[in-house]
Amino acid sequence: MAFKPNRLNSVVDEMNTCTACATCLVTCDVFQVLQWDSSSPRGRVQLAYGLYTGEIEPDNSVLTRIYQCTKCGRSEQECPSSVKLLDIFEAARHDLFEAGYRLENYERFRNKILTEGNPYDGEEPRWKVFGREPKERAEVAYFMGCKIAFQEQEMGRATIGLLEHLGVDYTLLDETCCGAPLVNAGVSDEEIEKIARRNVEEIAKRGVKTVIFSCPSCMISFKDLYSQFMDLPFEMRHEVEFFRDYGMELKETDEKVTYHDPCHLGRHYGIYDEPRELIARVPGIDFEEMENSREKALCCGAGGSMKLADKDLGVKIGRIRMEEAGERTVITACPNCKNNLAISGRVKSVSELLYENLKK
């Protein structure tokens, strides 16, 4: 199998912009755990460049390093030379995957998503889990995503509970995986576009005006990727943006909490205030920020489908984040963050916090 650069050709200038200054070693959670230069952002750039020139063979050790990245975006945010690191890493993943250099877990996910519509164990259609059949027409659609449907159902129940309590005219969907794990694997746009069309048609036929997401990665798929393929005839909002517009009567609690910023919600979309405003509405709640919050937040360890390449690494990064929270319950706004952080401590979503404290 010969490796030929394709998308990497379009990021050569970016790769050459890296001055190897090492700033990104300090800011990368992956490097902080593994401590090998090849596991740092600049090391990954050098590997990608070596793949591009043909000086580096894409063996399994190189593949693993390329995929040992949560796509948290912190290195790109802090890079003094403004290197578009995520574009480089995505190009490398794409070219490797398309050339047939595939880590087994990504190949398995890709095949399962394309044949069954989701990467996890569980039966479709997924709305059955929540016992609510999609309506023919509704103002609002809740795109739950695979993680909610098959692994974090309590979070989905809270969102649905809030929608119903607030009297929102909403519907669940006969949805399929948004395609984020395919992007993370490096699958071609052509395969992802089919998924995009299926999901968008499913929503559009119900006359939906607003789609809400619990999962920031699903929202990225729609807003940033699907929109490259077609016009989307609805607005898209994360649930914390949506629920902020509604008044709720909430019970008093003395729970000690903190908030973990999901990278794909905070750093990617700048949604920092909305979840904090919702948490602050709970009377009596004892809220304290972690040392690293908002733009400086550490990653949960689960982004970029990195755990498919190195599960232990993802869990270790999550543990470091949870140690920062101490005894406080960690509130977050992403099912992937919740899922990985909960391995090391007590975590709930903003929607769960609100729902359990609703005066019903």
Binding residues (CB under 6 A) for ligand SF4: these are: 18-24, 27-30, 41-42, 45, 69-75, 79, 81, 83, 85, 299
CB of 142 to ligand SF4, least distance (A): 29
Kindly compute the dihedral angle of the four CA atoms of residues 53, 55, 59, 62, in this order, to the nearest 10 degrees: -70
Alpha-carbon distance of 353 to 360, in angstroms, equals: 14
Q: Token digits for 277?
A: 């405003």
Q: Token digits for 150?
A: 């098959």
Give 214-282 as a DSSP string: S-HHHHHIIIIIIHHHS---SEEEEHHHHHHTS---B-----EEEE---TTTHHHH---HHHHHHHHTS
CB of 109 to ligand SF4, least distance (A): 19
Pairing verdict, β 140-143 and 210-213: parallel
For ligand SF4, which is the closer residue by CB, 206 or 268?
A: 268
CB of 53 to ligand SF4, least distance (A): 17
CB of 74 to ligand SF4, least distance (A): 4
For ligand SF4, which is the closer residue by CB, 19 or 111?
A: 19
Judge whether 67 and 60 are in contact, CB under 8 Å.
no
For ligand SF4, which is the closer residue by CB, 27 or 258?
A: 27
CB of 43 to ligand SF4, least distance (A): 9
For ligand SF4, which is the closer residue by CB, 47 or 282?
A: 47
Phi, psi of 298 (to 5 degrees): -75, 160
For ligand SF4, which is the closer residue by CB, 92 or 162?
A: 92
